[in-house]
Structure 1
Amino acid sequence: MKKCPECGNPSYDGAPVCGNCGFKFPKPKVAAPKEETIFKKEPIVRKTSSSESTIDILKKNRLLIGAILLITLIVILGIVLTGSNDKSSPIQVSGLNEYKQSDFSFKYPENWKNVSGNDPDHSGAKFFMDDNKTLIEFYNITSDSTSLKQINQQRIEYAQQNGSYVELVETVKLDGRNGSNIILENADGDYTRYVSMFSDGKLYVFKINGESINSITTSDINSMINSADIA
């Protein structure tokens, strides 16, 4: 119940006017309902102990990562050092000396020794000895033969008459010319190799004597033969 402020007459709460004097009661204020925000708050996701950052992971595993990097570096260094020290890779080539005659020249390793030799059939022969004690002889002569084939045939016949066995006879290319390579096993068990070139009536011969086929066919000897040049 409420009372009229003018006459004091009681009236019910919802009466718009006083029933005694006609006073108009003011409309009651209605409290506006609270509005809900249109923005929804997203739930805050908190990182659990298992949701670690990359930096945290790196920090925790720095020892393991460091070990992996160290092993990788060691492997790389090993490959580099192995490659640089590989005995089968670049071969260390010794210096070369050059032998020159009027119209003929060849190069030979500087560690070969110039030695005195005896060849009664070729007084002007030049002699060398390598580290394997293999004797390398060079001589040239004027020949009445018409071809290298004829010269080789005569050499083989003479060798067989002295008890030598023919191991190899082949044609080779030297200084752009046809040459021959003959290997004989001598009666005493040693080996002799003849490498010959024939040009304009002149015969150029490398005669190599050694204890085995390997000793007379080394890379140094073959390089020396292949360097032969007829001017």
Structure 2
Amino acid sequence: MQTEGDPHHRAPTKLPNTGASVAIVILAAGKASRMGGGGKHKLLAEFDGLPLVRRSALTALGSDAASVVVVTGHRRRDIETALGGLALTLVDNPDYADGMASSLAAGLSSKHADGADGILVMLADMPGISTAHLDRLISAFGHAGGKAVVRAVSRAKPGNPVILPRSLHDSVRRLEGDVGARGIIAACDLPVLDVDIGDAAHLDVDTPDDLLAAGGAVKS
């Protein structure tokens, strides 16, 4: 985890945007184990009449990203149905029970993501993330020439989403277990650009109470 005092931490600059390409990988494979009994799935909960996973995908599709990939796993068929008709790529992760690392690797291995200069890792359970937030992150990545990590923060506290440049993709593929890329970011020698997007950077929904507090309606 980087802080304001880290030697390779930088604020976004005003350099020209190089147009570095970004693919968005949405992680939607998890078991939603904190939803309790009854088989309820947080990504199928509705926000403004839409399943959360579809809302997240539409947010990504409206951005400046070159492509959108959604990694599925738990209740794959239901998630795919919720995403029906959208211009995105679905990648099944049969090893989703092993944790987040396997979903990251599956997403990065998609041909629609592998050729991008950077991968924006987006969690499907963050209803506060907007297209404008994503575009700010993508713009910061372009201004850095595609050679920096870009992450969303709120009041200097790191959150999500995060853009990982191509030079880190092999390291991400080697991750194991229920971990994200935080350790890789901490160990890399690349600049880390923080973009403050407010409370949305930390707002995810793991429990029925979280969903209700964020304005969602638990469905199935």
Interval containing the TM-score (normalised by the shorter chain): under 0.3
* Higher RCO (CA < 8 A, seq sep 6+): 2
Which protein has the bigger strand share? 1
| TM-score normalised to structure 2 length | 0.21
Larger Rg: 1
Which protein has the bigger helix share? 2
